[in-house]
Structure 1
Amino acid sequence: MAELYNRNSPCPIAHRGCMEAGPENSHTAFEAAVTLGAGGVEIDVRKTRDGKLVVFHDADVRRLTMGWQGPYCNSKIKDMTWEHISQIRLPFGGHLLKRFPDEGYADEKQYYYPWAAASEQDVLYQMGRLESRSKSEEQLTLAIYRCYKEEYEKLCLEDGRLEQILSLQEFFKWLQTQPDGFFAEVELKERGIAGAVIQMAEKYHVEERCIIFSGIEDVIWEIQDWCKNHGKPDRLRLGANIRYLREEQKEMLERGDFYEVGLNAGAFESSDVEYLHQRGIRVFSNLGDTPVWWETLECLGVDGFKTNCLGAYRKWRQKWEQR
């Protein structure tokens, strides 16, 4: 594993794995994160119709299967069984984040635009044309993908590589084998799964490698309540993606057991980090993959940061250290 940071620098956390190397939340993306020197990975967890826990971000599989012509590619995770999901394939072609603009990505949704399928000018045109019609970031991204359906099918055939959706069980088995200190931020994307996730982490003896968290307030408290009522496993850590540090978030943090919180890039200062550190809470920055932000991180005192651009960060870091 290539070392990307030291204890005096923020720990890079590969958001959904290294999306420059493989489809997000895939085995290839996780392996690449280790190879490139990430300190950990962030994953997303959902539940199938028959109760299987799977590593997947979106509510449905349409965006991640674009270009692949196979079964269930228009289905929602919650409506499928594990048998259905096992038949789905995630194509590499067109889905890797190979573009890193000089100024980086200040707008998070742009990570997921189909730069590989068309010119930058065309993608930005479609983005502007569709933005006012779409109700959510996910709907906008999917609408743009659909504009390039034929291009994605061509890219999928040209590349040929495909991945399967991982079960959480498979991910935890993989996590067992990783270098000492390597950890996973496990984000729960829906209610009703906190206990099952925590028990599975215990079963596979990876609780000390896990930070269980969510960005959904009800789920944050489901995690907290489950640990209060059933006992938190030794060395398991809990977190919350609070995004901003305002009075309501400060009040929330006083009521729970939090090892770390996520704050949006550019939405906090060193005084906020100091406030949290004084209360024993670590700070992980949410994305903000721009060279300016990466340099700012070195001065803010944060403990870690999520990135979708681990390869680009590695190159920037090497140049920055040589100055």
Structure 2
Amino acid sequence: MGWFDKLKTGLKKTKDILNTDVRDVFKPGEILDEEKLERFFADLIRTDMGVKAATAIVDELRTKHLGRTIVLDELWETIRGKLKDILTGDGETEWEIENPMSPINMAEEGPTVLLVTGVNGVGKTTSIAKLANYMHQNGKKVVLAAADTFRAAAVEQLTMWSQRIGCEIVTKESGVDPAAVAHAACQLAKEINADIVIIDTAGRLQTQTNLMDQLGKIVRVVEKQIPGAPHESLLVLDATTGQNGISQASNFSSYANCTGIVLSKLDGSAKGGIVVPIRQEMGIPVKFVGLGEQIDDFQVFNPALFVDALFDRGDVA
């Protein structure tokens, strides 16, 4: 399947809710009234789109269609248009699907360093593997830094993925200072003229102060090795957690100075609308999405295509 069809398939659970609810609430030929708008507002909230976005969409429907005969195609067009405005109207970049590196702030010279954070259980290690594979498949030479040294399973998993992908990985003994791993990875990347360094980090430490100190040290170390690094600080967020994940992620991202979101498990969620409040409430763009369990089920996120896929009513070919 192409990217758009994969996205439609991944959003199927969320689409099913919206399509069913729209058909149930908006009956062609009836008059659009406040009761129907209130019911649709509740339906939008069920997809975890958030109160702010749901209110804006319903207000748009109210302005353009309240008291008029319902024409489904016209309502769909209004909903889609408003959602695109929400995702792209405040300066959100529409990353180019045909330009694989478009979401990444690439270094002007030398390796580009990507720092990846996220609480345990969100699919961080798998997302890093997918990101590495994505870069590798698009002609980039990748070095992985297994800097989550407090979790042996994460290091083992990332090592296995590196072997499957065919990229370099730097590991150290369990409990070693994560900044030492990041330092060694940057050094190796410069020696072998690698294009990308991806640094895994601990998903959880005992205190927020420890977390901030560790991330701060990693940043200082890589900055000395490679000017401007880290060039991106990506936060992995699990789409299935919905609104619950946002408060957790907001707190976490404040320490990592995140520049973008990698949204994992979008294919398994009935809460695909979570993309919207992530952008509105966290002010951080979604740059990549995970759309399945396979290593290549990973793509650049495009807001306009996301909206089209979310409200597409045709069957996937």
The two structures have a TM-score, normalised by structure 2, of 0.29
Normalized per residue, which structure has more strand?
1
Q: Which has the larger radius of gyration?
A: 2
The two structures have a TM-score, normalised by structure 1, of 0.28
Normalized per residue, which structure has more helix?
2
Higher relative contact order (CA 8 A, sep 6+): 2
